């Protein structure tokens, strides 16, 4: 028997600011089926319409043309009350930013959606406790979101998405703010919700590696589905992605008649795309794209390995990626190995999965742990978060070496870390030792930073202006 579509889109189009000069058509005549029990992903670059797609299916974004049928019923005809019930009981959303209510405990965050549909507070708490147990979060039930790590918050986010036991789970870049270990845990859990519970999972992602368990991939670009692939056991996600990338690049080459040159699609061009997305996990799309451009230059032998390393180490504002020296070196070495061994694309994909290269979140956590070694004071979760923020901004070259101790020293109510003067300077010196960006003693920076910082936001704004 043919599986029945739980979600069916028929010629769906959605405009933002329709009729205004700034009108944008985010979804263009989309037709697709997602079967019950599928694990589907919308995959594509930022701005391709994949998130709009999710929010249209969830009944949050209202589309202007076409139909979205859930179990055969068109949701465009639903009243506001019907939509509210559908959103609360039909769909569970896992957000990239977790979106927990800061003033509620973990338990109350999970029980909240049940209260909306008339479940009593006592029953909701019992059900929420069961969900927290499933996510291995029982011991954190009475804590507040700010007391949890990113990985723990995401597990609470998943528990909350399951609150009213919805048949459809939507995950919007669910790994975006997680370190490798927690990202893997989330992927395993999504697979369990699909395989064990039989729920339909829909994920939006721009990271190829997070597609490892999906059964259907909808490739998106500029508001249209460019390709749909059903992954069978014979065909791995890696194969499927590489085929797709080959096709995409072939199409680009075919349409590029200006040069008159017939060029084969090179393995390296495909690799650059996959590698950039993987090696720079957690970085912004702009940073990843910049990295990919530089990597393509390396693969095309336009620059040397040394120049490559220097370029990715340069601040973003100067045309680089702003990677700290150690990261730049380790990436350069890793790439050299790949180039030397000339692995095929599937081999690269597999080695990426096992690579020791970690996301920026892991690195920041490691750096922070190293920095606080020997620090005898107690750090609150808030201070740890602030510390991570400063490290992250410094690693990305968004702030200067001189600003670091000031931010470490700045009081908590001004969004600093609130460390003592001595500890701030010690830690800042340690941080510069590990980063060694080669620009730390720049006189220019000193000149730019004569004024004492008044609060974190001002410093960040200043830094951003310079980009």
Nearest 5°: CA angle at 178, between 419 and 45? 125
Part in contact with other proteins (CB under 8 A); list of ranges 103-111, 131-139, 163-171, 297-305: 163-171
Nearest approach in angstroms of CB 158 to other proteins is 18
Nearest approach in angstroms of CB 130 to other proteins is 10
38 in contact with other proteins (CB under 8 A): no
- Residues in contact with 288: Cβ distance below 8 Å, sequence separation at least 6, in sequence order: 276, 277, 280
Nearest approach in angstroms of CB 170 to other proteins is 14
Question: Sheet holding 65-70: strands in order across?
Answer: 24-35, 5-16, 65-70, 73-74
If 0-12 CB within 10 Å is exposed, 13-18 middle and 19+ buried, where does residue 459 land?
buried
Nearest approach in angstroms of CB 385 to other proteins is 35
166 in contact with other proteins (CB under 8 A): yes
CA distance linking residue 86 with residue 166, whole number of Å = 9
Q: Among residues 6 and 311, whose Cβ is nearest to other proteins?
A: 6
Residues 310-329 that bind other proteins (CB under 8 A): none
Q: Are 13 and 30 in contact (CB under 8 A)?
A: yes
CA distance linking residue 392 with residue 399, whole number of Å = 9
120 in contact with other proteins (CB under 8 A): yes
113 in contact with other proteins (CB under 8 A): no
Q: 3-class DSSP state for residue 311?
A: helix
- CA atoms 190, 194, 197, 199: torsion sign: positive
Looking at 256-324, list the stretches that DSSP marks H as alpha helix, in order from N- to C-terminal side: 267-279, 285-299, 305-313
Q: Cα separations (Å) of 73 from 3, 12, 67, 179, 417?
A: 17, 15, 9, 39, 52
193 in contact with other proteins (CB under 8 A): no
Q: Among residues 85 and 384, whose Cβ is nearest to other proteins?
A: 85
407 in contact with other proteins (CB under 8 A): no
Nearest approach in angstroms of CB 343 to other proteins is 44
142 in contact with other proteins (CB under 8 A): no
Q: Which of 195, 217, 198 is nearest to 206 (CA)?
A: 217
2 in contact with other proteins (CB under 8 A): no
85 in contact with other proteins (CB under 8 A): yes
Part in contact with other proteins (CB under 8 A); list of ranges 64-72, 153-161, 276-284, 413-421: 64-72
Part in contact with other proteins (CB under 8 A); list of ranges 50-58, 117-125, 248-256, 320-328: 117-125
Q: Give the pairing of strands 5-16 and 65-70.
A: antiparallel
Nearest approach in angstroms of CB 81 to other proteins is 5
Question: Total residues contacting other proteins (rule CB under 8 A)?
Answer: 27
Q: Among residues 166 and 453, whose Cβ is nearest to other proteins?
A: 166
CA distance linking residue 420 with residue 289, whole number of Å = 39
418 in contact with other proteins (CB under 8 A): no
Among 114, 391, 395, 428, binds other proteins (CB under 8 A): 114
The helix (run of H) or strand (run of E) holding residue 34 is strand 24-35
Nearest approach in angstroms of CB 168 to other proteins is 9
CA distance linking residue 154 with residue 135, whole number of Å = 10
Among 49, 66, 90, 416, binds other proteins (CB under 8 A): 90
Among 63, 86, 316, 349, binds other proteins (CB under 8 A): 86
Which of 64-67's residues contact partners 24+ apart within 8 Å by CB, and which partners?
A: 64/13, 64/14, 64/15, 64/18, 65/11, 65/12, 65/13, 65/14, 65/29, 66/9, 66/10, 66/11, 66/12, 66/13, 66/29, 66/30, 66/31, 67/8, 67/9, 67/10, 67/11, 67/12
107 in contact with other proteins (CB under 8 A): no
Quick one: angle between helices 121-134 and 150-161, nearest 10? 130
CA distance linking residue 275 with residue 272, whole number of Å = 5
Question: Sheet holding 91-94: strands in order across?
Answer: 91-94, 168-172, 200-205, 39-43, 216-221, 224-230
81 in contact with other proteins (CB under 8 A): yes
Q: Among residues 40 and 399, whose Cβ is nearest to other proteins?
A: 40
165 in contact with other proteins (CB under 8 A): yes
If 0-12 CB within 10 Å is exposed, 13-18 middle and 19+ buried, where does residue 112 land?
middle
77 in contact with other proteins (CB under 8 A): no
71 in contact with other proteins (CB under 8 A): yes
133 in contact with other proteins (CB under 8 A): no
82 in contact with other proteins (CB under 8 A): yes
59 in contact with other proteins (CB under 8 A): no
Q: Among residues 25 and 36, whose Cβ is nearest to other proteins?
A: 36
Q: Among residues 6 and 30, whose Cβ is nearest to other proteins?
A: 6
Q: Among residues 70 and 352, whose Cβ is nearest to other proteins?
A: 70
73 in contact with other proteins (CB under 8 A): yes
Among 152, 153, 164, 277, binds other proteins (CB under 8 A): 164
Q: Are 75 and 69 in contact (CB under 8 A)?
A: yes
Residues that bind other proteins (CB under 8 A): 4, 6, 36, 70-73, 81-82, 84-86, 89-90, 114, 117-120, 123, 127, 164-167, 197-198
């Amino acid at each position: 028997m043919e599986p029945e579509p739980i979600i069916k889109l028929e010629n769906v189009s959605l405009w933002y600011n329709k009729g205004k000069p700034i009108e944008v058509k985010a979804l263009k005549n989309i037709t697709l089926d997602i079967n019950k029990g599928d694990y589907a992903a919308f995959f594509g670059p930022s701005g391709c319409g994949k998130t709009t797609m999710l929010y249209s299916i969830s009944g949050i974004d209202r589309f202007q043309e076409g139909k979205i049928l859930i179990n055969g019923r068109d949701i465009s005809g639903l009243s506001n009350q019907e939509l509210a019930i559908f959103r609360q009981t039909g769909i569970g959303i896992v957000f990239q930013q977790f979106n927990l209510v800061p003033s509620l405990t973990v338990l109350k965050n999970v029980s909240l959606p049940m209260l909306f549909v008339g479940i009593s507070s006592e029953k909701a708490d019992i059900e929420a406790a069961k969900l927290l147990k499933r996510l291995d979060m029982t011991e954190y039930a009475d804590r507040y979101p700010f007391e949890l790590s990113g990985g723990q918050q995401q597990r609470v986010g998943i528990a909350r998405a399951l609150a009213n036991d919805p048949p459809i789970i939507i995950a919007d870049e669910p790994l975006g703010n997680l370190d490798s270990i927690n990202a893997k845990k989330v992927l395993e859990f999504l697979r369990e919700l699909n395989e064990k519970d039989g729920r339909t999972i829909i994920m939006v992602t721009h990271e190829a590696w997070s597609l490892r368990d999906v059964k259907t991939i909808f490739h998106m670009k500029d508001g249209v589905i460019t390709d749909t692939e059903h992954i069978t056991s014979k065909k791995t996600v890696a194969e499927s992605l590489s085929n797709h990338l080959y096709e995409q690049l072939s199409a680009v080459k075919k349409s590029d008649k200006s040069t008159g040159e017939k060029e084969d699609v090179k393995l390296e061009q495909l690799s650059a795309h996959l590698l950039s997305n993987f090696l720079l996990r957690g970085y912004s799309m702009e940073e990843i794209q910049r990295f990919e451009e530089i990597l393509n230059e390396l693969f095309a032998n336009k620059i040397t390995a040394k120049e490559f390393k220097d370029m990715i180490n340069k601040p973003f504002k100067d045309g680089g990626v702003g990677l700290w020296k150690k990261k730049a070196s380790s990436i350069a070495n890793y790439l050299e190995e790949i180039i030397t061994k000339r692995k095929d694309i599937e081999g690269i994909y597999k080695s990426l999965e096992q690579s020791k290269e970690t996301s920026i979140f892991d690195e920041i956590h490691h750096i922070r742990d190293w920095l606080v070694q020997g620090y005898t004071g107690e750090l609150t979760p808030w201070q740890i978060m602030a510390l991570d923020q400063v490290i992250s901004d410094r690693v990305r070259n968004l702030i200067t070496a001189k600003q670091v101790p000031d931010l470490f020293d700045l009081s908590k109510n001004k969004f600093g870390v609130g460390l003592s003067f001595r500890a701030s300077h010690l830690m800042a010196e340690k941080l510069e030792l590990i980063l060694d960006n080669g620009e730390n003693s720049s006189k220019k920076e000193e000149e730019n930073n004569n004024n004492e910082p008044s609060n974190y936001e001002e410093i960040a704004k200043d830094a951003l202006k310079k980009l």
